[in-house]
Amino acid sequence: MEPLKPTSVSCPAKVLVAGGYLVLDRNYTGLVFGLDARIHTVVEPISTKAGVTISEIVVKSPQFQEAIWEYGYRSQGQDAGISVTQLSVGHEQSISASKNPFIETALTYALTYIWTLLPNQRIASSSIRILADQAYYSNPGTSTNDSKPSHFLNFNVSLRDAHKTGLGSSAALVTSFTAAVLSFYLPTEKWDLKTQEGLRILHNLAQASHSHAQGKVGSGFDIASAVYGSCLYTRFSPALLNALPAPGTPGFATALQTLVEGPSWDTQIQKAAIKMPRGLRLVMCDVDCGSETPGMVKQVLKWRADNPEEADKIWDDLQKGNEALAKELTRLACTNDNESAADPYTQLRTLINTNRTLIRQMSLASRVPIEPPQQTKLLDYCSTIDGIIGGVVPGAGGYDAIVLFVEDRDEVLEWLKQSLKSYKVDDAEEGLKIGKVGVIGVREEMEGVRTEELALYEGWGAGQ
């Protein structure tokens, strides 16, 4: 067997530009853009003294305080796969306080899948590092005091105190983690990130473990964009995962392998259906307030169940609007005569506004603040700025963020930033009030998962 080589993989963040709530149902689609903030996972061998065999995997997220998790692992009988147990980390923090369910579940699923492919081989110990781009968190990061400043910043807080900007950290983490662990342990004849089949298996495995860690609530559009980048997404049937035995119980390993490799997985990814028109870009703004997605989802789905006729009408109109939006984006991206028209984006503007009207109808009818009045005002305000085509509340909506289609010129972005500095929320509003609105340093990213050069992590020391 060849010695294991250090491996690194990264995945992009996401923004669901159209299809929030609808995408939870397989009859509808979600239009998701990848974003150029990435989470990286690096896996390296641990050197042990000759003759000493340990089965330990140490995971660190060195940009955060106390972010270290040590796992022991062993194969179970009765085809139950590999069980992972968190070991004491040797300082005052208790194991339960330091649990990271996303890492623990991704490790259990990835090692179990590896074991099904290499049943007679011992899985060697390794050391794993996770490094995230600044845009995932609004905490101000500081440079490492290395003479060569790193691309990655130190956030100087624990993960518990990190303020997420809603770019899908757990999905990018689970997907890059799963891909890096598979790449590290498996020879390319067994699994290869560079093939369509390798991507399909990675997608299915990451969906299964992320869904398990998250409590099976999401549509999985965030994992799809972590693997494939920007795409038009149709979710998998939720029933696929209900049939999977629990990790560590008899039959889990073969059932997992059959599920991720077999033909039953029914996600549809249409990559060619999503493009960014030449001359445009996405801009994300954080509204420094925040909404709880699961509660909003519950309420919208209850409204739909109680009012099927009204809901189906709005959803079908929204689906048509979303498809038209995707079509117009690809049309603009593929046509050459944008420059000659007086305003090449008239149709795009109209489509965005029609979708927003339908979203507000759904908001009113379901009494869920998907595009609440303060966000309407903010979006309307931004849409009047020269060079801004329009925008929407992404994903579940609420008071989290807005996403804008903007002409890709420095002066437009600068003017937007200046305008937002002096933007005032109406004092007369009742209820929740959005806070400061800031531009997040990201733009669209068409590419999904990719391998990275180890030199990127200099200053974040191997196995430190």
Ligand X SMILES: C[C@@](O)(CCOP(=O)(O)OP(=O)(O)O)CC(=O)O
Ligand Y SMILES: Nc1ncnc2c1ncn2[C@@H]1O[C@H](COP(=O)(O)OP(=O)(O)O)[C@@H](O)[C@H]1O
The contact set with ligand Y (CB under 6 A) reads 61, 100, 102, 130, 132, 159, 164, 166, 168-171, 173
List the alpha helices (DSSP H) in 335-387: 346-366, 373-383
Shortest Å distance, C-beta 359 to ligand X? 12
Q: How far apart, in whole angstroms, are the C-alpha atoms of residue 33 and residue 294?
A: 21
**CA end-to-end span of the chain:** 27
Does 166 bind ligand X (CB under 6 A)? Our answer is yes
173 binds, among ligand X, ligand Y, none (CB under 5 to 8 A by kind): ligand Y
Which residue from 54, 27, 128, 117 is spatially nearest to 81, judged by alpha carbons?
117
Please state the separation of Cα 420 from the chain's center in Å. 26
130 binds, among ligand X, ligand Y, none (CB under 5 to 8 A by kind): ligand Y
Does 168 bind ligand X (CB under 6 A)? Our answer is yes
Q: Which is nearer to ligand Y, 135 or 240 (CB)?
A: 135
Q: Which is nearer to ligand Y, 101 or 119 (CB)?
A: 101
Q: Which is nearer to ligand X, 37 or 57 (CB)?
A: 37
Q: How far apart, in whole angstroms, are the C-alpha atoms of residue 73 and residue 108?
A: 9
- Which residue type sits at 369? P
Q: Which is nearer to ligand Y, 176 or 355 (CB)?
A: 176
Q: Binders of ligand X: how many residues, by CB under 6 A?
A: 15
106 binds, among ligand Y, ligand X, none (CB under 5 to 8 A by kind): none
277 binds, among ligand Y, ligand X, none (CB under 5 to 8 A by kind): none
DSSP 131-182: EE-GGGB-SPPB--SSSS--SS-B--SBGGG--B-SS-HHHHHHHHHHHHHH
Does 219 bind ligand X (CB under 6 A)? Our answer is yes
CB neighbourhood size of 144 (10 A): 18
Q: Which is nearer to ligand Y, 100 or 204 (CB)?
A: 100
Does 24 bind ligand X (CB under 6 A)? Our answer is yes
395 binds, among ligand Y, ligand X, none (CB under 5 to 8 A by kind): ligand X
Shortest Å distance, C-beta 21 to ligand X? 5
Task: Please calculate the CA angle 39-42-45 and round it to the nearest 5 degrees.
Answer: 165
Does 395 bind ligand X (CB under 6 A)? Our answer is yes
Does 23 bind ligand X (CB under 6 A)? Our answer is yes
**The sheet that has 280-286: what strands, in order across it?**
388-392, 401-407, 280-286, 438-440
* Residues contributing to the site for ligand X (CB under 6 A): 16, 20-21, 23-24, 166, 168, 218-219, 221, 293, 297, 394-396
